[in-house]
Amino acid sequence: MTPLFEQLKQRAADWNVAIGETRETEGSLLGFGVSRSNPVVIKVSKYDDESNSGEVLRAFEGAGVVKVLEFVGGSVLLEQLDPGKELVELVREGRDEEATTIFAQAIHRMANHQPPAGCPTLFDWARGFDRYHEGPIPLQLAQQAKEIYRRLAESQKQTMLLHGDLHHYNVLFDTKRGWIAIDPKGVVGELEYELGAVIRNPVENPELYVSRDIVERRLKALATALHLEYERALGWSFAQAVLSAIWSLEDGFFVTNDHPAIQLAREIQSMIN
């Protein structure tokens, strides 16, 4: 039994959960079970950047996010969402405008919460640019993204706790609560930043978002619904696309010059320029 499964087994015993099924994802081990007659999920994270996920979820107070019942370190006990349909399915069905509206509603519910102690800020996340010196991402593109990112970070007005990774696979449908966000990374910043992950997904279907028309439609709809500044959201989306490619490299993924995030960055770069 691997250390990850040992940890899941220990948490199940600690929290009195009868595990019926386990699933392993890229970033975590999930145990689906029952506790006190209620369906629950234990999530054990593989990476350190989710070690504070319990504190982040508690800070959102259940507003638009999955409810956390217990947590310790990188392990959390969560309510189980039923049926747990991913928002990405709507996009694949040609219902992107509907999905964008759902994102706006989710972001609105999550807005204006105070971050837990020690929560990283957008300035902390900017260090990824400093670590990148050579590779498949054109240095000129990375430099422009870094400059725009820092300019936006330094001119933020109202900051708050953000999900930080709000994309189409992290919003699930529950028959009782509606569309609910899961797996927040937690970062302190302005609300315009939150739109960036929406714009660069679904990641495995770049034909569904690497387009000036789609970027404009999504961003304008979100900015209008949430009373945000379109130009700032556009700048953040550009910078984040490049930063996400840098992070992919750091995580050991194969990134080429035609990576979807880089394609998107170039598309938005032409809109900014």
Name the region of 94 (left: φ>0; alpha: ψ -120 to 50; beta: rest).
Answer: left
What's the pLDDT score for residue 95?
98
Final residue of a domain: which of 14, 49, 80?
A: 80
Q: What pLDDT score does 48 carry?
A: 76
pLDDT recorded at residue 27: 87
Question: Residue 128 is part of which domain span?
Answer: 84-272
CA–CA separation, 170 vs 172, rounded Å? 6
Amino acid (one-letter) located at 234: L
How many distinct structural domains can be found in the chain?
2
Q: CATH number, domain at 232?
A: 3.90.1200.10
Q: Are 147 and 165 in contact (CB under 8 A)?
A: no
Q: Checking DSSP bridges between strand 171-174 and strand 178-181, what pairing results, if any?
A: antiparallel
Q: Could you tell me if 72 and 104 lie in one domain?
A: no
pLDDT of residue 62: 95
Name the pairing type of β-strands 28-35 and 38-45.
antiparallel
Same domain, 66 and 96: no
On whether both 162 and 98 belong to a single domain, the answer is: yes
The CATH number for 64's domain is 3.30.200.20
Residue type, 191: L
Rounded Cα distance, 104 and 35, in Å: 33
Give pLDDT, residue 51: 78
Output the pLDDT for position 83: 97
In this prediction the pTM is 0.96
Rounded distance between C-alpha atoms, residue 40 and residue 25, angstroms: 17
Instruction: Judge if 187 and 120 occupy the same domain.
Output: yes
Counting Cβ atoms within 10 Å, is residue 20 exposed (0-12), middle (13-18) or buried (19+)? exposed
What is residue 168's DSSP assignment?
T
Q: Same structural domain for residues 90 and 76? A: no
Residues 6+ apart with CB under 8 A from 7: 29, 44, 75
Asked if residue 66 and residue 161 are part of one domain, the reply reads no
Dihedral Cα 72, 76, 77, 78, nearest 10 deg:
150
Distance CA 141, CA 148 (A): 11
- Residue 183, CB-side half-sphere exposure with 13 Å CA sphere: 21
72 with 138, same domain: the answer is no
Q: Mean pLDDT of residues grouped by 10 in the chain (273 residues)? A: 91 98 94 97 88 94 97 95 98 98 98 96 98 96 98 97 97 98 96 98 95 98 98 98 97 93 97 88
d(C-alpha 88, C-alpha 92), whole Å = 6
The answer on 10 and 30 residing in a single domain is: yes
